[in-house]
Amino acid sequence: MWNKDEAQGKADQLKGRAKEALGDINDDARERSEGEAEEASGRVQESFGKGRRKVGETIEDLGKDLKK
């Protein structure tokens, strides 16, 4: 299950790709650069969310093991 960071990261990546494409179509280097930056930011946020989820799952598993 995705958390909010993963979902927002995916959304930012998608927006970034769209800006890059728009920059390519309009031959706008600034728009393309903004898109690349937004996509990279989205990848970082998604990775952070994945790490956060994995830590949460590990803690949850530990709690279950302790209850046994």
User: Which residue range forms the structural domain that includes residue 31?
Assistant: 4-67
- What is the predicted pLDDT for the residue at 62? 92
Predicted TM-score of the model (pTM): 0.81
Neighbours of 33 (CB within 10 A): 13
- What is the predicted pLDDT for the residue at 1? 79
1: exposed, middle or buried (C-beta count within 10 Å: 0-12, 13-18, 19+)? exposed
- What is the predicted pLDDT for the residue at 67? 81
* Total domain count, the chain: 1
Given a cut of 50, the residues of the chain with pLDDT beneath it are none
Rounded to the nearest 10 degrees, the angle between the axes of helix 4-26 and helix 29-67 is 160
How far, CA to CA in Å, does 4 sit from each of 8, 16, 46, 53?
6, 18, 9, 10
